[in-house]
């Protein structure tokens, strides 16, 4: 039977090793880059259109 309470059989708490944080920048696929570019251009277009009309 597994001991899920976080304590070892002798009563001491065990610390599970923390996962190491990866600070490397994420690499995006070409499809993700295109979608992100379309989103940025459309957002800029909407802002420009709002400034132009109002």
pTM of the model: 0.54
Tell me the pLDDT of the chain (54 aa) as tens digits. 555 555 555 555 566 688 999 899 999 999 999 999 999 999 999 999 999 998
Burial class for 21, CB neighbours closer than 10 Å (0-12, 13-18, 19+): exposed
Place of tokens 């499809």: 31
What's the Cα-to-Cα distance from 9 to each of 12, 14, 32, 36, rounded to whole Å?
8, 10, 49, 52
What integer pLDDT is reported at residue 54 of this predicted model? 84
What integer pLDDT is reported at residue 31 of this predicted model? 98
The dihedrals phi and psi of 42, each to the nearest 5 degrees, come to: -65, -40
């Amino acid at each position: 039977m597994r001991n899920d309470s976080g304590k070892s059989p002798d009563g001491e708490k065990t610390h599970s090793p923390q996962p190491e944080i990866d600070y490397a920048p994420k690499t995006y696929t070409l499809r993700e880059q295109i979608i992100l570019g379309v989103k940025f251009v459309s957002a800029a277009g909407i802002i420009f259109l709002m400034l132009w009309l109002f």
